[in-house]
Copies of this chain bind each other. A is one copy, B any other.
Amino acid sequence: MRLRARFAETDAMRIVHHTEYFVWFEVARTELLRSIGLPYTEIQRRGFNTPLVEAYASYKAPARYDDEVEVKIWAGRIGRSSLRLEYEVTKLPGGEPLCVGHTVHVLIGGDGKPKKIPDDLKERLSPSSTERPTRRTPSRTSSRAAPP
């Protein structure tokens, strides 16, 4: 997914504020769910929510106002009711790595209790259907393998 750094997302260091990467992760989640045919609004209509219980980001280089970036997202560990998603933000057009990170979500029902992730959702989130980068340099693989 591609987007442009907004002016409102910058800070007085003249770079994109670190919190905005988590917003970009969230935008990528929204588009991932839409792309696998299960938009988040549909998940909510079924009475579920997927609160975020963990967020991590490691910053490699800054993005600046009006930079175009690519946000890759792919599924990591999928547990009984929890789901880890992985992210990589690169700067276009060259692909310079800006940020890698992950978030962990729990599927809860209307009663606020964790629910088993349905098999069809698990399947659609499997690595082959998500955007996991295929060309990875050893260093970047390892930085993702053991974050943080």
Residues in A lying within 8 Å of B, measured CB to CB? 4, 6-8, 10-15, 17-20, 22-23, 26-27, 30, 39-41, 49, 51-59, 62, 64-66, 104, 147-148
A11, B12: Cβ atoms closer than 8 Å: yes
* Inter-chain contacts of A62 with B (CB < 8 A): 51
Determine how many copies of this chain the complex contains. Answer: 4
B18, A6: Cβ atoms closer than 8 Å: no
Complex CA distance for A62 and B52, rounded to whole angstroms: 10
A34 to chain B, nearest CB (A): 8
* Inter-chain contacts of A52 with B (CB < 8 A): 18, 59
A26 is contacted by which of B6, B56, B58, B64 (Cβ under 8 Å)?
B6
B39, A66: Cβ atoms closer than 8 Å: yes
